[in-house]
Amino acid sequence: MEIGLQSEEIYISNKPVDFRKSIDGLCSLIVEDMQKKPGNGVYVFYNKNLNRIKVLGWHRNGFAMIYKRLESGKFFVRACKDNIQIDSEQLNWLLTGIDWKLMRPVECKNNTYF
């Protein structure tokens, strides 16, 4: 199922967040902590146990939030000084539970990808 949260700007928060926050609370964090406009990107938030993720973005005429909980394991995100910008492929790897930092598309000699 395609949700349609697409943006050239996808950011991972630089610290874990309180998962009681919903759309309005996360929008406040985007403005205050990330210094961004909530409607101009897709934003990824994670809990301190790294087993839950919320993805917030603008979808046509309002905000949409995706919430994912891993049944086992942890998401490959870590707190750091700055917010991390990723692309849509890296976001898909992250949501799958794959270490997105290690993944790279395979390029062959004629510039096609597998």
* Predicted pLDDT at 83: 85
* Predicted pLDDT at 57: 94
Domain membership of residue 42 (yes or no) is: yes
* Predicted pLDDT at 12: 93
Q: Report how many domains make up the chain.
A: 1
pTM of the predicted structure, to 2 decimals? 0.82
Domain membership of residue 111 (yes or no) is: no
Question: Residue 101, class by beta-carbon neighbours within 10 Å (0-12 exposed, 13-18 middle, 19+ buried)?
Answer: middle
Domain membership of residue 54 (yes or no) is: yes
* Predicted pLDDT at 46: 95
Domain membership of residue 101 (yes or no) is: no
Amino acid identity of 95?
Answer: L
pLDDT, averaged per 10 consecutive residues of the chain (114 residues), comes to 71 94 96 94 94 93 94 83 86 84 63 50
Domain membership of residue 53 (yes or no) is: yes
Q: What is the dihedral of CA 90, 94, 99, 104, to 10 degrees?
A: -20
Q: Decide if 100 contacts 78 (C-beta within 8 A).
A: no
* Predicted pLDDT at 114: 46
* Domain boundaries, position 38: 10-96
Kindly list the distances between the CA atom of residue 16 and the CA atoms of 11, 13, 35, 80, in Å, as whole numbers in the listed order: 13, 7, 17, 10
Domain membership of residue 55 (yes or no) is: yes
How many whole angstroms separate alpha carbon 42 and alpha carbon 65? 10
Domain membership of residue 28 (yes or no) is: yes
Domain membership of residue 36 (yes or no) is: yes
* Phi and psi angles of residue 12, each rounded to the nearest 5 degrees, phi first: -100, 130
How many whole angstroms separate alpha carbon 94 and alpha carbon 13? 13
